[in-house]
Structure 1
Amino acid sequence: MSWTVSTLPQSTVLVSSEEGDWSTGICDCCQDKKQCCFAFWCGPCFACRTTREFGQCLCLPLLDALGCVHPIAMSIRVSLRQRYGIRGSLCSDCLCSTFCLPCVWCQMATEMEKRKLPTVLSDIISRR
């Protein structure tokens, strides 16, 4: 598996050139109880925080409240899949985002956390 380093304004991420699977399943959101409760009881706040960590506008997920289909959650999920080379389809992203919104946000937040690059000392020294 080959990896490309991509530096975004707010973070550094690994971008895979090969496809893999999500590191957690859509129903594995209860593994992190604190995150699960936050996403379930305060979904908009959790979605806004996750979107900001992804490098997008903080208030973007608030547009999802306008209808039963959640285009922002779905587009962030598609973008996340493309960034990390995760297998899937637009159809599955649409279904998950429509019927399991808190689980989708938990899965995306967990994926971003697990795929972050560790800070390297040489990076800190070279920036001075």
Structure 2
Amino acid sequence: MSADVQTTQPRAYTMTSASKQWSSGICDCCQDIALCCYACWCFPCFACQTAKEAGECLCLPLLDAFGLIPPMATALRASIRQRYGIEGSVCSDCVYASFCGPCTWCQISREIKTRQNPVVFVSAAA
């Protein structure tokens, strides 16, 4: 009786997004419906939670209300770009934060979620 005995275990490897682009576009809010609804119904709470998830002070997004250009949304978007090696400029961050504020916060939140929860594949081949 001949039985095939597997002598090695499957190896797990992590597939992360090493792309130099955002994992989702600025208008892809509906990619994560729960995030979109949360941002729509309680935007200040959503922005504060997103800042906290990014490792910043919980109350920083509240400073965006004081000024023509939202400083915290611009700074946080630039910080996330730098952290994950995403191409772009502070000028584009400023434009997105100024004219698409809620969409910018949703994109930041999706990016953090995507980059912090990598996909793990298990390979059966040795």
- Give the TM-score normalised by the residue count of structure 1: 0.74
Separation in structure 2 between the aligned mates of residue 65 and residue 41 of structure 1, nearest angstrom: 18
The aligned residue for residue 39 of structure 1 is 39
The aligned residue for residue 77 of structure 1 is 77
Residue-pair matches, total: 102
The aligned residue for residue 110 of structure 1 is 110
The one-letter amino acid of 1:28's match is D
The aligned residue for residue 48 of structure 2 is 48
Separation in structure 2 between the aligned mates of residue 117 and residue 95 of structure 1, nearest angstrom: 28
The aligned residue for residue 86 of structure 2 is 86
In the TM superposition, structure 1's runs of 4+ consecutive aligned residues that sit over 2 Å from their partners are none
| Larger RCO: 1 or 2 (CA < 8 Å, sep 6+) | 2
- Give the TM-score normalised by the residue count of structure 2: 0.75
- Structure-2 change in CA distance of 1:68 and 1:41 (3 Å): farther
Q: Report SS of the residue matched to 1:21.
A: coil
The aligned residue for residue 21 of structure 1 is 21
> Which one has a bigger Cα radius of gyration?
2
Which consecutive residues of structure 2, in runs of 5 or more, have no partner in the other structure? 1-15, 119-126
Separation in structure 2 between the aligned mates of residue 24 and residue 79 of structure 1, nearest angstrom: 17
Q: Which has the higher helix share?
A: 1
